[in-house]
Chains A and B, each alone.
Chain A
Amino acid sequence: MLTVANLSKQFGGQPVLRNVSLVLNQGEVLAVLGRSGGGKTTLLKILAGLEAPDAGTLHLRGQDLGPVPPNERQMVYLYQEPLLFPHLTVFENVAFGLRIRRVAQVEITAQVTALLDELDLREQAQKAPYQLSGGQRQRVSFGRALIIRPRLLLLDEPFGNLDAQTRADMQQLFLRVSRQHQITSLFVTHDSREALTVGTRFAYLDEGQLTSFASVAAFVEDARTAIGSELAFWESVQQKRNMII
């Protein structure tokens, strides 16, 4: 579905992405793990059409995305902050993409109401964004993206600002909705546990170089992901606990 080949980008002579290539099929969630400054955000912005690559090609369902502006790509970029429009209610935030596309009012009401039900936000429909909790805001942001049926969802550490419990809830919600709507996503995170929870495919991005893994096992075993050392830590905690008991 999405094919990225030899993507490169420099800022002020400093390479940020180096020959990045990947393939993503319909309904897959590619979890990209990496540290800050590794080029994750630049990769997402290039895919969304918000930055131009210095070299490389992007194809979505055979279409060359190079000349396609961001508003015609049907790829929604979700930030760490929900960025709800403060001048609009929850209902109007979710309806935003449909209003831009001049969808009929009856259709907007039906679609938005159904989605608000699905995201458990119906009670909040007429509230202003500032009246919502962090988790609710992120759900509205998610609904605003889903309503336009994106061909690709680009998530830039979307749950990074949430507390542990809300974050876990949002990850489960993302999984449920992704499967239900067969959404193809590229999910960027620096949290290996989150990557393993939401991903169906895995990659590691560091200093502009992307490594794709053929299996979960290969991802876990790669020393750079540090998942092995974390597992060893928890095993040692378990052993100590057993010795005390």
Chain B
Amino acid sequence: MRSRLLTLFLALLFGLPFVLLGLLAVGEDWRFPAALPMRYSLAAVRSLLAADNDLLAGLGRSLLLAGTVAVGATASGFALARAIARSRRAAQWEAASYLPYALPPVLLAVLIQPFIIRLHLSGSVGGVLLGLGLVALPFATLLLRSFWSPQVREYEHLARTLGCTAGQALRQVLLPLAWPLLRTTLVQTFLLTWFDFGLTNVLSVGKVRTLTVQVFTYVGEANAQLAAVASLLVLLPPALLLLVNKSALLRKP
């Protein structure tokens, strides 16, 4: 009984913001002290289907950015974690991987902005990609560092003596062994990038309008209905991602 009550309480706690967002997206003339909107309209949701809709373009931009950064950071983090595990100063390199976390992403953006400008990437998708990659790469490296244990080295050696080239050992043995952790890293770096606002806002100088940036813009303009639709769109891909990867994320150690 207690566990059922707790489940119900948690479901309400997590579910209520979504209900509220849904009401804000379809509600009109919702003024204090009314408990519910006076009228309901799907106009804001329908506007998503319009060809020139900025929100759908933002969704596409955000998916492209987060997907590219997640894949790039996971692949590079895998290789980097291996190099760290095999270096003579593994502990020092690992400690250095934590250094980017001493800076919040927005501060990192301010620090790297001069370099982004000199590279002629300011206000471009490339510049934002580079900045987000700098945040996601150390995170992916630290997550994947635990994979490169001495036992994995033994697996690799065994595969080589069974006839695998270095490439075959990677494809046939190491990647399947690492797949659960790689999947977790892909999801986590995707979410890290997906929800970023500060770094993207600074480096894009208002030109790369991701979905998260748009949410903040609509909130700033007090456009509650569009802000709610944009927020629902922001929540959609991570919710799907978490659902699809539930088994990997909740796996027991």
Contacts and interface: CB of A to CB of B under 8 A. Distances in A.
B163 A50 contact: no
B3 interface: no
Interface in A89-137: 96-97, 100-101
Interface stretch (B44-52, B54-62, B172-180): B172-180
Interface stretch (B24-32, B78-86, B154-162, B220-228): B154-162
B168 interface: yes
Contacts of B179: 87
A145 interface: yes
A41 to B, nearest CB: 11
B21 interface: no
Nearest to B155: A83
B163 A77 contact: no
Contacts of A145: 162
Contacts of A71: 160-165, 168
Contact of B161 (A73, A85, A87): A73
Contacts of A69: 160, 165
A81 B154 contact: yes
A83 B165 CA distance: 18
Interface size grouping (class) on chain B: 10 to 19
B41 interface: no
Contacts of A148: 162-163
B176 A83 contact: no
Q: Is chain B's binding surface mostly helix, strand, loop or mixed?
A: helix
B149 to A, nearest CB: 12
B53 interface: no
A86 B177 contact: yes
A96 B158 CA distance: 11
B92 interface: no
The 4 lowest CB-CB distance pairs between A and B, nearest first, are A70-B160, A87-B176, A77-B161, A100-B163
A97 B177 contact: no
Contact of B158 (A73, A79, A87, A100): A79
A160 to B, nearest CB: 14
Contacts of B172: 96, 100
A30 B172 CA distance: 32
A78 B154 CA distance: 10
Given A71-B165, A79-B154, A81-B154, A87 B160 contact: no
